[in-house]
């Protein structure tokens, strides 16, 4: 499983023989995700089966191609791994790392606010993965707990790079994308941005959610939500944050040596 793409009939037949497809993990707008097991190694994977016609009709071809292109280049313990891609006239099979513990979002909903040690562990892993992206000139642009998956050992895996983009020195981005609650002021204002700063903002929102169990900026009315973000007017629980952050930040710098 090396990230290669095969398009011939023989390659597709071999691919289908190599994997035993299991239950469906999820169904999306243009495909589904199934758990599968490699016939020889027993290694479990998640296979996205994407319907070409639906992708084209929904004008999502660029999003799919971008995610595949970026994930092929990445190898990091806190970024979801892409193993291989097989294309047929009807479908695209994307074989990815299987993570069994679901989304960080569901974990936060279940537990409410996290204890400092646990929040620190998750956040360190998120920052490690994001820093790797930026070092390789990629900005994610849609960081949120729903796109942070947890493996069997509760390690974070950054996923869903469909809205990501490649950064170039001296060039700026302007596209407004991502989830409103996690979007940086420059993104929702349509201002130019270099890239990393919008991911850093999203990470700050995620950290708040980890520690407080709620979002710092929230409103059912999107224009009102954007006003709050741009004015930094939120529902910040400063008492709770002060308690957690009194020794949280210094501990990020401690490596145990």
**Residues with active-site annotation:** 142
Please report which residue ranges of the chain form alpha helices under DSSP H.
9-18, 52-57, 61-73, 104-111, 116-135, 185-188, 196-212, 222-231, 238-252
| Residue numbers belonging to the annotated binding site for ATP | 48
Half-sphere exposure of 24 (CA within 13 A, CB side): 6
Distance CA(246)–CA(69), nearest Å, equals 41
Structural contact between residues 76 and 129, judged by C-beta atoms closer than 8 angstroms: yes
Print burial letters for 143-178: b (CB count within 10 Å at least 16), e (below 16): bbbebbbbbeeeebbbbbbbbbbebeeeeebeeeeb
| Residue numbers belonging to the annotated binding site | 48
Longest dimension (CA), the chain: 63
The tokens 């990020």 sit on which residue?
252
Sorted by sequence, the CB contacts under 8 Å of residue 133 that are 6+ apart come out as 74, 79, 139, 140, 158, 164, 199
Distance CA(210)–CA(251), nearest Å, equals 16
Best CA proximity match to 180, nearest among 151, 219, 238 = 219
Distance CA(174)–CA(194), nearest Å, equals 9
Structural contact between residues 120 and 113, judged by C-beta atoms closer than 8 angstroms: no
């Amino acid at each position: 499983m090396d990230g290669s793409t095969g398009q011939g009939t023989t390659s597709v037949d071999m691919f289908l023989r190599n994997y035993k497809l299991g239950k469906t993990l999820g169904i999306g707008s243009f495909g589904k995700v199934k758990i599968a097991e490699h016939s020889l190694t027993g290694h479990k994977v998640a296979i996205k089966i994407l319907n070409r016609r639906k992708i084209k009709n929904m004008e999502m071809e660029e999003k799919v191609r971008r995610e595949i292109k970026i994930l092929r280049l990445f190898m990091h313990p806190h970024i979801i791994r892409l193993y291989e891609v097989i294309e047929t006239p009807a479908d695209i099979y994307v074989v990815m790392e299987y993570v069994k513990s679901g989304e960080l979002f569901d974990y936060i909903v279940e537990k409410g606010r996290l204890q400092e040690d646990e929040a620190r562990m998750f956040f360190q892993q998120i920052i490690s993965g994001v820093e790797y992206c930026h070092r390789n000139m990629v900005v994610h642009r849609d960081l949120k707990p729903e796109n942070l998956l947890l493996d069997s050992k509760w390690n974070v895996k950054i996923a869903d790079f469909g809205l990501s983009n490649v950064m170039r020195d001296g060039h700026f981005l302007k596209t407004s994308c991502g989830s409103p609650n996690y979007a940086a002021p420059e993104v929702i204002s349509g201002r130019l941005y270099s890239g990393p700063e919008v991911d850093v903002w999203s990470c700050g929102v995620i950290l708040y959610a980890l520690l407080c169990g709620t979002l710092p900026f929230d409103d059912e009315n999107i224009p009102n939500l954007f006003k709050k973000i741009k004015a930094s007017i939120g529902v910040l629980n400063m008492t709770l944050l002060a308690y957690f952050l009194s020794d949280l930040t210094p501990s990020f710098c401690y490596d145990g040596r």
